[in-house]
């Protein structure tokens, strides 16, 4: 396989040229999916006994397969939660791959894990959690939420033998991300949803707790608040909820997978007050910290509790825990053993640009949401559903039915022009279909927003 080294170097240059040309660019159309059979017809058999050769495979990638993907960093991709990894982070993602580091244990990955931890210290400092708090990088927010939930459940079980035979119960709101519900299933705990898609307030939480049966109250061990709902950017009353959790002796988890990046922004930092009282926090650097996929993070006030829940035992693993291997072992704090040092691209990008640039880039996303809000208010065809919150803007096209939003989304996507998708917003007892912008990419311009609104 080494014979192809020269060829590989040349191809690496091609890949770099290709990459630099397309990152965060509006020159290229937003790709769209094709059926698997259609893609197969275009590229033919690619896995063969002899191999088709890297050059051919790369050509097929560029010509057909790349175009069947939606680049999340396209400045007119404002759907779901887009992303916008920095060039520095992308470049270091290649270095991360080329270094072949096993990121589970310090013994093997000290250099990489050291860098991850430097980046993590900065993230932890944004939360204001007390001394001793620390975290690890995960594959994403879902995995981070799972590890936080499992840590909370194991802690609760350790408090009382009766808890070991009970099914645990957590409370969150309907504004919480789908992964909370999905991971509650994985962790085999029940979930109770407070019926608000708006800010979850301490009083609403208190009255739900007061309404529990004695048995339910026994089983209740955690509350999950959201630091920036994915749909609307709403931040729950973190301080109030923290107080309730303290009084009721419940684990307080804050899911800030999307919103966590905004902790760096002075203009909105106060909205997160109370997050420093959390027992655990989820933040996705691959959302608003400009990291490439995949990079989530889970942070614990008391990391030793996560270790109790996650640490793996095995005779062949003992050496890693030896004094001689002294250091921080990321595997102990989340569900993966073998893991990529996925925090490394973030470290390099932070080191390259400095944290002030991160602050400015996040503030730009917040500003774009405010700008879009004003443009919507000035446009007679559309109106705001609610004021922009963080970088989310919910708006309606006057007179449109749900299917109009769907057609409009497909039309812009098919042209490769923009990806803006409909969502639902709860109004009383019914759900209204509306449109939604979510800004992450600081390269998005006012003109991009105007062009999109003009297509409505
Ligand atoms: C995106 C998101 C998640 C899930 O994160 P993944 O990285 O996609 O697994 C969880 N919670 C919130 C609030 C999110 O916005």
Instruction: Quote the tokens at residue 149.
Output: 């939930």
* Contact by Cβ (8 Å): 96, 112: yes
Of the candidates 280, 256, 282, 279, the one whose C-alpha atom is nearest the C-alpha of residue 269 is 256
Between 251 and 427, the higher pLDDT residue: 251
Cβ of 141 less than 6 Å from ligand 1: yes
Residues 323 and 365 in one domain: no
Residues 347 and 366 in one domain: no
Between CA 89 and CA 224 the distance in angstroms is 31
Q: Tell the residue number behind the tokens 């909105």, with chain if given.
A: 268
Cβ of 147 less than 6 Å from ligand 1: no
**179 Cα–ligand 1 center, Å:** 7
Counting from 1 in the atom list of ligand 1, the atom nearest the Cα of 141 is 5
Helix (H, G, I), strand (E, B) or coil at 301: coil
**262 Cα–ligand 1 center, Å:** 15
Q: Is residue 15 part of a domain?
A: no
- Could you tell me the CATH number of the domain that includes residue 420? 3.90.1150.170
Among 80, 138, 142, the mutation site with the greatest number of ligand 1 atoms within 8 A of its Cβ is: 142
Counting from 1 in the atom list of ligand 1, the atom nearest the Cα of 294 is 7
Residues 314 and 448 in one domain: no
**157 Cα–ligand 1 center, Å:** 26
Cβ of 142 less than 6 Å from ligand 1: yes
Total residue count of the chain as it appears in this document: 456
Q: Is residue 285 part of a domain?
A: yes
Cβ of 81 less than 6 Å from ligand 1: yes
**142 Cα–ligand 1 center, Å:** 6
Q: What range defines the domain where residue 307 resides?
A: 94-352
- Which residues pair with residue 192 across a beta bridge? 171
Take atom 5 of ligand 1 and give the residue whose Cα is closest. 141
Confidence of residue 3 (pLDDT cuts 50, 70, 90): low
Residues 396 and 338 in one domain: no
Q: Is residue 255 part of a domain?
A: yes
Last residue of a domain, one of 320, 335, 352: 352
Take atom 12 of ligand 1 and give the residue whose Cα is closest. 257
Residues 330 and 449 in one domain: no
Residues 194 and 261 in one domain: yes
DSSP 157-212: HHH-GGGGGSPPEEEEETTS-HHHHHHHHHTT-EEEEES-SSPPPHHHHHHHHHTS
Q: Identify the weakest region by mean pLDDT among 15-24, 187-196, 238-247.
A: 15-24
Residues 252 and 268 in one domain: yes
Q: Is residue 23 part of a domain?
A: no
pLDDT over threshold 70, residue 323: no
Q: Is residue 66 part of a domain?
A: no
Could you read off the pLDDT of 362-416 as tens digits, one per residue? 999 999 999 999 999 999 999 999 999 999 999 999 999 999 999 999 999 999 9
Residues 317 and 256 in one domain: yes
Q: Is residue 239 part of a domain?
A: yes
Cβ of 334 less than 6 Å from ligand 1: no
Res 12: pLDDT:
83
Q: Is residue 86 part of a domain?
A: no
For 108, counting Cβ atoms within 10 Å of its Cβ (0-12 exposed, 13-18 middle, 19+ buried), the class is middle
Last residue of a domain, one of 332, 352, 372: 352
Res 315: pLDDT:
80
Residue 396 is classified by DSSP as E
* Contact by Cβ (8 Å): 43, 68: no
pTM of the prediction?
Answer: 0.97
pLDDT over threshold 60, residue 1: no
- Could you tell me the CATH number of the domain that includes residue 182? 3.40.640.10
Residues 318 and 365 in one domain: no
Cβ of 448 less than 6 Å from ligand 1: no
Among 232, 236, 257, 295, the mutation site with the greatest number of ligand 1 atoms within 8 A of its Cβ is: 257
pLDDT over threshold 60, residue 225: yes
Counting from 1 in the atom list of ligand 1, the atom nearest the Cα of 179 is 10
Cβ of 236 less than 6 Å from ligand 1: no
Cβ of 179 less than 6 Å from ligand 1: yes
Q: Is residue 75 part of a domain?
A: no
Counting from 1 in the atom list of ligand 1, the atom nearest the Cα of 258 is 15
Residues 320 and 395 in one domain: no
Residues 296 and 372 in one domain: no
Confidence of residue 325 (pLDDT cuts 50, 70, 90): low
**271 Cα–ligand 1 center, Å:** 19
Task: Please give the tally of structural domains in the chain.
Answer: 2
Could you read off the pLDDT of 265-294 as tens digits, one per residue? 999 999 999 999 999 999 999 999 999 999
Residues 372 and 269 in one domain: no
Cβ of 177 less than 6 Å from ligand 1: yes
Among 146, 172, 255, the mutation site with the greatest number of ligand 1 atoms within 8 A of its Cβ is: 255
Counting from 1 in the atom list of ligand 1, the atom nearest the Cα of 176 is 13
Of the candidates 329, 301, 312, the one whose C-alpha atom is nearest the C-alpha of residue 152 is 301
- In the chain the first and final C-alpha atoms are separated, in Å, by 54
Last residue of a domain, one of 308, 331, 352: 352
**365 Cα–ligand 1 center, Å:** 18
pLDDT over threshold 80, residue 321: no
Confidence of residue 318 (pLDDT cuts 50, 70, 90): confident
């Amino acid at each position: 396989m080494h014979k192809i080294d020269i060829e590989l170097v040349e191809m690496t240059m091609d890949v770099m040229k290709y990459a630099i040309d397309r990152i965060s660019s509006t020159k290229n159309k937003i790709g769209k999916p094709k059926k698997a059979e259609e893609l197969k017809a275009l590229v033919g058999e690619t896995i063969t006994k002899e191999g088709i050769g890297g050059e051919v495979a790369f050509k097929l990638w560029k010509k057909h397969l790349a175009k069947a993907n939606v680049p999340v960093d396209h400045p007119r991709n404002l759907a779901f939660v887009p992303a916008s990894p920095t060039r520095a982070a992308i470049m270091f993602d290649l270095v991360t791959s080329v270094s072949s580091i096993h990121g589970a244990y310090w013994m093997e990955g000290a250099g990489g894990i050291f860098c991850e931890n430097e980046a993590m210290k900065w993230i932890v400092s944004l939360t204001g959690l007390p001394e001793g708090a620390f975290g690890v990088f995960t594959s994403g927010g879902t995995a981070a939420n799972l590890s936080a939930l499992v840590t909370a459940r194991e802690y609760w079980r350790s408090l009382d033998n009766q808890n070991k035979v009970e099914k645990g119960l957590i409370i969150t709101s309907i504004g919480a991300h789908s992964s909370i519900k999905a991971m509650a299933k994985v962790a085999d705990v029940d979930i109770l949803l407070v019926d608000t898609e708006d800010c979850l307030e301490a009083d609403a939480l208190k009255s739900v707790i007061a309404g529990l049966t004695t048995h339910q109250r026994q089983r209740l061990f955690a509350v999950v608040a959201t630091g920036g709902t994915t749909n609307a950017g709403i931040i729950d009353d973190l301080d109030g909820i923290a107080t309730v959790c303290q009084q009721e002796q419940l684990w307080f988890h804050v899911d800030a997978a999307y919103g966590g990046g905004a902790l760096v922004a002075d203009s909105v930092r106060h909205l997160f007050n109370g997050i420093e009282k959390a027992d655990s926090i989820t933040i996705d650097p691959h959302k608003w910290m400009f990291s490439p996929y995949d990079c989530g993070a889970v942070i614990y006030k008391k990391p030793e509790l996560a270790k109790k829940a996650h640490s793996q035992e095995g005779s062949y693993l003992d050496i890693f825990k030896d004094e001689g291997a002294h250091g921080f072992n990321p595997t102990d704090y989340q569900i993966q053993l073998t893991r990529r040092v996925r925090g490394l691209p973030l470290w390099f990008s932070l080191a390259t640009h400095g944290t002030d640039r991160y602050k400015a880039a996040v503030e730009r996303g917040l500003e774009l949401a405010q700008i879009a809000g004003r443009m919507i208010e000035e446009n007679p065809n559309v109106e705001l559903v609610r004021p922009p919150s963080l970088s989310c803007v919910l708006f309606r096209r006057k007179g449109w039915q749900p299917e109009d939003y769907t057609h409009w989304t497909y039309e812009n996507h098919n042209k490769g022009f923009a990806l803006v998708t409909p969502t639902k917003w709860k109004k009383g007892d019914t759900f209204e279909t509306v449109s939604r912008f979510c800004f992450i990419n600081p390269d998005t311009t006012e003109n991009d927003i105007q062009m999109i609104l003009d297509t409505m």
